[in-house]
A = this chain, B = another copy of it.
Amino acid sequence: MHTTREKKKLLNRVRRIRGQMEAVERALEDENGCADVLQRIAGVRGALNGLMAEVVEDHIQEHVADAELTTEQRSEGAAELIDVVRAYLK
């Protein structure tokens, strides 16, 4: 699905998010205040949105916009993208 370089970038983002979730876990275990915990959760949410934006962007470039795609491949890529947009905005 992705070029090797893209894949590596995405995996790095995923690992960072896993690290952030571990920090949320520690903050709860150590009974840090709610404000601290909520700020960390908001941070994970931001990072997750960034990951999603990057995956969607890759999808657009490789499965919808790429000049080499056949008409059928492009239609399929567009339909998948529209499903994602609808799921996300509903």
Using CB atoms and an 8 Å cutoff, list the residues of chain A in contact with chain B.
1-2, 7, 10-11, 14-15, 17-18, 21-22, 24-25, 28-29, 31-35, 37-39, 41-42, 44-46, 48-53, 55-61, 63-65, 67, 71, 74-75, 77-78, 80-90
Contacts and interface: CB of A to CB of B under 8 A. Distances in A.
A21 B18 contact: yes
Contacts of A87: 39, 42
A90 B48 CA distance: 10
Contacts of A52: 38, 41-42, 45, 89
A54 to B, nearest CB: 9
Given A34-B80, A82-B60, A28 B10 contact: yes
